[in-house]
Homo-oligomer: A and B are copies of this chain.
């Protein structure tokens, strides 16, 4: 039984992992750490957990982080995981981090991200030497590396939808990677648990708002990844929008086709790449159910359309931002890191309606 510790347990990201691990047959939660609500039962913070998990939240500190754990999950903002990772790895503890701390293999790539992210503000990395060994946790692209990793950087929620939606087309070279537009729509849980003027109910309800226009940090990790896949320069204009739902992301991506490609050819390309993938579903031509079809699951649904008049490809990719975009993909990565069946604890059918 793997002993797991969740750092940042009182946020939505930590909560998602708690909910998943409560049903995992090979992993047990030994402690929940946080900087707020310490000393309270987690079920006092989240009453829905009453009777399922009543562990007391402990203060995260150099003493408590890593204690009695084989695996530490950092469901924390940027900068926390990188301050603890070296010590944990040296103690033989596996680490997965939700933030941007370990999504990049070099200080240069990280710097590009750090400049873009408002909460990092260009600050340098505290554990640069670990970057080459860290693995970017996108199973569909880096499964083998994850299998051997001690340190995994979980991808950004928008990045998951963007990458899974674009990877087959970019890899096959059918689209011009310099022509990509990604229009994202996200539920408000993506902003986390902390209240703010922007995410106050009356401000968000009956509203749709673009933000960080062409300036969101998740674009960086997608560009870096697609450049690796294609060997070409990638140019993405990404505009996220807040929509008044709790969970879910759908990213609609647009790119210029390099030559005439039929709908059937595109379908074939995507189906081939994702054949056997446990959590990616390529919808048949003409079927675009919206993000409602993946909520409550670790799935990514992909709908494809060729705009013949304009020679463009349109891809809509949907995920539950708190599962395939956060805790779900993290558990998928953890399963791979430990050699468990990849679906373990993630078998849930989406909830509908």
Binding site for B on A (CB under 8 A): 12, 15, 19, 22-23, 46-52, 181, 183, 185, 187-189, 193-197, 199-211, 213-214, 235-237, 239, 241-248, 250, 252, 254, 281, 283, 287-297, 301, 303, 305, 307, 309-310, 312, 314, 316, 347, 349-353
Contact residues in B for A350 (Cβ distance below 8 Å): 48
Contact residues in B for A292 (Cβ distance below 8 Å): 48, 203, 206-209
Contact residues in B for A209 (Cβ distance below 8 Å): 288-292
Name the prevailing secondary structure of the A interface residues. Answer: loop
Which of A200, A310, A350: most chain B Cβ within 10 A? A200
Least CB distance from A214 to B in Å reads: 4
Give bound CA distance, A74 to B331, whole Å.
37
Which residue of B49, B189, B252 contacts A202 across the interface (Cβ within 8 Å)?
B189
Least CB distance from A261 to B in Å reads: 14
Contact indicator B295/A206 (Cβ below 8 Å):
yes
Contact residues in B for A50 (Cβ distance below 8 Å): 281, 283, 293
Least CB distance from A346 to B in Å reads: 12
Least CB distance from A335 to B in Å reads: 18
Contact indicator B236/A252 (Cβ below 8 Å):
no
